[in-house]
Amino acid sequence: MEKDSPIQPRPRVTLKDVAAEAGVHVSTAWRALSNETYVSAEKRKLIREVADRLGYSPDPMLSAFSSYRRSQRPPAYRSTLAWINNYAVRKECTEAPHMRAYFEGARSYAESKGFKLEEFWLQEKGMTPKRARDVLLARNIRGLLFAPQPSANTHLSIDLNAFACVSIGYSLAEPHLHVTVNDQHSATLLCLKRLAQLGHRRIGMATVSDTLKRTRHHFESPYLIFQNALPQTRRVPLFTIDGLDVKTNTEPWRERFLQWRAAHQPTAIICTFSQAIGWLRDSGMRVPEDVSIATLSCMQQPGWAGIDQQERTIGARAIELLISIFQAGERGVPDTALRMLVEGKWHEGPTVAAVGDPAQEVLAAIE
């Protein structure tokens, strides 16, 4: 009796098979299946449909080997991306330490992936929204990274249908784009927790309204929830200066700030504007012996204890997101915007001191 013949395995469908069936070169098929926008959206769709119909899947060992080979050589130039500067004074977009860190983190990551990041100034003399679009297209720039705006709730009218777009922070209200930003809610919670661990039982918060708006109220919301969890006699109301975080605006609020501190006697203050320490010291108070001060952005208040927002990482992750949607062929304002949050880290500094054992009841209110 003859033995049954063994079942022969089906030959593996190769990229060459997909290319032949779709009537394209192998390199075009590879680019299409990698979602590279050098292949038109229509052709990418056709090639993906052919691959699905034939049952093509990449060889995992070959893919791993290809990735290893690419990692061993410098990336080839792929495209240029634009850092969109909307400041009236051009240098203001990168001269502040935190803004410069965003840009440097973004540029470094872009270069590591074969992309070039160039600044594009929207407020240049003679620049209009239409001209900006035309110039970007003429320079073959299809990916835009919007830097934080000069003020909260900024609206721009530029046509973005031809571009992949990401914004750093929430200050660009319209158009409503994908955003990469510090996890501001967890930053305030971390600050409160660290101060409570150092024994602080009366913790205040002082800020400006533009900061609250540009963070979509993520900074103060955990503070208000925390205060509401405390007994009425232990609560310290939020102190808010109306307007922008610039010295000409904050300086007239000096006396009101000092009155707020005297009335509520916080032993620690989470603060987002730089003048507070000077005001306290001029009034005869010692920092941190009489009152501790912590910042939610160590780059904006250098030398303070508080939150390192990881600005370089935010810039890098913003470019990572931009490249991914650029290569996926996404263009224009997204139907559903993504939010990539980067956690901050606590940074020790000379403006915060321990005042006793951990305040367990305060920690319980934070949790």
pLDDT tens-digit map of 285-339: 999 999 999 999 999 999 999 999 999 999 999 999 999 999 888 999 999 999 9
> For helices 26-33 and 15-22, what crossing angle results, to 10°?
100
Strand, coil or helix: 336: coil
Q: What is the pLDDT of residues 207-266, one digit of tens each?
A: 999 999 999 999 999 999 999 999 999 899 999 999 999 999 999 999 999 999 999 999
What is the helix (H) or strand (E) element at residue 212, kind and residue range?
helix 209-214
Q: What is the pLDDT of residues 178-189, one digit of tens each?
A: 999 999 999 999
CA 217 to chain centre: 16
Sequential DSSP letters for 143-183: EEEEPPPSSSSEE-----TTSEEEEESS-EEES--EEEEE-
Instruction: Please give the Cα distance from 5 to 33 (Å, whole number).
Output: 37
Residue 76 banded pLDDT, cuts 50, 70, 90:
low
Strand, coil or helix: 338: coil
Instruction: Report pLDDT for 159.
Output: 95
Percentages helix, strand, coil for the chain, rounded to the nearest 5?
Answer: 40, 15, 40
**Token representation of residue 90:** 């051009």
Radius of gyration of the chain (CA): 27
Give the residue-averaged pLDDT of 340-354: 97
Sequential DSSP letters for 98-147: HHHHHHHHHHHHHHHTTEEEEEEETTSTT--HHHHHHHHHHTT--EEEEP
Encode burial over 147-171: b for 16+ CB neighbours within 10 A, e otherwise. Answer: bbbbebebebebebeebbbbbbbbb
Neighbours of 233 (CB within 10 A): 5
Greatest alpha-carbon span in the chain:
106
Strand intervals (E) in the chain: 79-85, 115-121, 143-146, 154-155, 164-168, 172-174, 178-182, 203-208, 239-241, 268-271, 292-295, 305-308, 339-342, 345-347
Instruction: Please give the Cα distance from 117 to 141 (Å, whole number).
Output: 10
Question: Which has the closest alpha carbon to 131: 122, 141, 143?
Answer: 122
Residue 119 banded pLDDT, cuts 50, 70, 90:
very high
Q: Are 133 and 175 in contact (CB under 8 A)?
A: no
- If you search the block for the tokens 């990336």, which residue do you land on? 75
Instruction: Please give the Cα distance from 176 to 165 (Å, whole number).
Output: 10
10, pLDDT greater than 70: no
**Token representation of residue 108:** 């470094």
Instruction: Provide the percentage of residues in the chain whose pLDDT is more than 70.
Output: 91
**Token representation of residue 178:** 């994908």
Enumerate domains of the chain plus CATH numbers. 15-71 (1.10.260.40), 79-176+311-342 (3.40.50.2300), 184-309+346-366 (3.40.50.2300)
Instruction: Report pLDDT for 7.
Output: 54
* Cα dihedral 349, 273, 228, 355 sign: positive
